[in-house]
């Protein structure tokens, strides 16, 4: 029945478990809608035949509906809409809550290609290899305009917005190839902005990833500038980029209090803000803090950080974020970041944008 409905509606294959659940809801909505539409059409034909005017001066009868009719006409459609919401909302929440053991992959949209980067390397263009049967979390951004990462087989679609990271996750059911499209018009090359997700047997994927990372290490040794080699790990790129952009003048990596919050164990920490609210320091928050430092100020710290909006490309933002994520220890640090201890740096004024 599932495959029959899918073929009737011209839907692509169900490449993920999420796709199957979405299709079941889709089939339910379509079935109820078609039954309702058929009932309305048959009622219209019946009323036309039975109650049509048979004489030129025949008056139209006045009908006073009963309360039960009002309840049915309003209550039944409302009940179905609420039922659809009750089924669909948990699916949405599940899509926005990746498993803790999900493998991370950075995705960047750019006119007109998709670039993929594994935290430990390697990087790739227009081809994303993933293990079948394992959850994969995509951290999606854009370098130029708004794109939309759309995988029809997985029933996934997530906007790629410049300066922000959004997440989505999936688990490929079985080995195979799945097309990736851009679902947001982004210019003359929009229709050619295609990519491919290749789901591999887990053992085969592990062997491929290990070999690719060995090549990354060799390339890093051969190239003194890891920014010039896209195969270098993102965390290592992020460390050097943070030094180049002057991040270490305000942020420490050993837990020491300074002008800005320390990066040690910052990722996923609950930070208390100046307005009394709290925020989880995830990828989206870390990216926003670089692009718009004044948006969410951590309690106890001053707004002295310059904005890096338009100054740091998307791939470099991802690298710095990945470096911050790598600074995690086994220590439990539930408390938010404490206020700064100012250590003067000769000739440096943090309020001046450089």
Domain map of the chain by residue range? 2-95, 103-213, 234-326
Average pLDDT over residues 222-251: 72
pLDDT tens figures, 100-159: 889 989 898 988 899 898 887 787 889 999 999 999 999 998 878 899 999 999 999 999
Topology at the third CATH level for domain 2-95: Helix Hairpins (1.10.287)
Do strands 135-142 and 166-171 pair parallel, antiparallel, or not at all (unpaired)? antiparallel
Contact 261, 298 (CB under 8 A): yes
What is residue 149's predicted lDDT score, i.e. its pLDDT?
Answer: 95
| pLDDT at position 155 | 93
Please report the pLDDT score of residue 51 as a whole number.
Answer: 81
Residue 167's Cβ-side half-sphere holds a number of Cα atoms within 13 Å equal to 21
What is the per-residue pLDDT for 353?
45
pTM (2 decimals)?
0.69
Burial class (CB within 10 angstroms; exposed 0-12, middle 13-18, buried 19+) of 305: buried
Mean pLDDT of the residues in the chain: 84
Other Cβ atoms less than 10 A from the Cβ of 38: the count is 10
| Ramachandran region, residue 300 (left: φ > 0; alpha: ψ -120 to 50; beta: rest) | left
**pLDDT at residue 130, rounded to an integer:** 94
Q: Does domain 234-326 have CATH number 1.10.760.10?
A: yes
Q: Would you mind telling me the total number of residues written for the chain in this entry?
A: 354
Whole-number pLDDT of residue 222: 57
pLDDT average, residue stretch 300-321: 82
The CATH fold assigned to 103-213 is Immunoglobulin-like (2.60.40)
Average pLDDT over residues 26-36: 92
pLDDT of residue 136: 94
Q: Which residues of 203-240 are buried (b: 16+ CB within 10 A; e: fewer)?
A: eebeeebeebbeebeebbeeeeebeebbbbbbbbbbbb
Q: Cα separation of 236 and 227, whole Å?
A: 9
For residue 204, pLDDT beyond 80 = yes
**pLDDT higher for 6 or 37?**
37
Establish how many alpha carbons lie within 13 A of residue 233's alpha carbon, considering only the half-sphere containing its beta carbon: 16
Q: Where in the chain does DSSP place strands (E)?
A: 103-110, 113-117, 123-125, 127-131, 135-142, 147-151, 156-160, 166-171, 176-182, 195-200, 270-272, 278-280
**For residue 328, what pLDDT band results from cuts at 50, 70 and 90?**
confident
* Residues 242-253 pLDDT 10s: 888 889 888 998
Residue 134: the pLDDT is: 94
Q: What is the pLDDT of residues 73-97, one digit of tens each?
A: 899 999 999 999 999 999 999 888 8
Confidence of residue 354 (pLDDT cuts 50, 70, 90): very low
pLDDT over 60 (residue 344):
no
SS3 196: strand
* Dist CA 211 CA 213 (whole Å): 5
């Amino acid at each position: 029945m599932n495959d029959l409905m899918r073929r009737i509606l011209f839907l692509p294959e169900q490449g993920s478990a999420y796709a199957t659940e979405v299709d079941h809801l889709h089939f339910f909505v379509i079935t109820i809608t078609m039954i309702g539409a058929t009932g309305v059409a048959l009622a219209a034909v019946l009323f036309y035949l039975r109650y049509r005017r048979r004489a030129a001066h025949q008056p139209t009868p006045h009908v006073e509906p009963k309360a039960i009719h009002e309840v049915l006409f309003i209550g039944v459609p409302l009940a179905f809409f609420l039922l659809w919401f009750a089924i669909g909302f948990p699916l949405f929440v599940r899509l926005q809550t990746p498993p803790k053991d999900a493998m991370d992959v950075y995705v960047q949209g750019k006119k007109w290609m998709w670039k993929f980067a594994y935290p430990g390397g390697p990087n790739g263009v227009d081809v994303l290899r993933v293990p079948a049967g394992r959850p994969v979390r995509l951290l999606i951004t854009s370098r130029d305009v708004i794109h939309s990462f759309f995988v029809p087989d997985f029933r996934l679609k997530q906007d790629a917005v410049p300066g922000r990271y959004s997440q989505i996750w999936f688990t490929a059911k079985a080995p195979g190839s799945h097309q990736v499209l851009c679902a947001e018009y982004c210019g003359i090359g929009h229709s050619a902005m295609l990519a491919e997700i290749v789901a591999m047997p887990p053992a085969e994927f592990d062997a491929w990833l290990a070999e690719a990372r060995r090549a990354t290490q060799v390339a890093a040794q051969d190239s003194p500038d890891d920014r010039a080699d896209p195969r270098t790990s993102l965390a290592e790129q992020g460390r050097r980029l943070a030094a180049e952009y002057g991040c270490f003048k305000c942020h420490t990596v050993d837990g020491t209090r300074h002008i800005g919050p320390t990066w040690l164990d910052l990722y996923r920490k609950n930070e208390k803000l100046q307005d009394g609210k709290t925020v989880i320091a995830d990828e989206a928050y870390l990216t926003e803090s670089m692009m718009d430092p004044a948006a969410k100020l951590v309690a106890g710290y001053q707004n002295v950080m310059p904005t890096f909006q338009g100054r740091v490309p998307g791939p470099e933002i991802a690298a710095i974020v990945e470096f911050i994520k790598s600074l995690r220890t086994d220590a439990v640090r539930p408390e938010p970041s404490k206020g700064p201890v100012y250590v003067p740096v000769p000739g440096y004024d943090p309020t001046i944008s450089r």
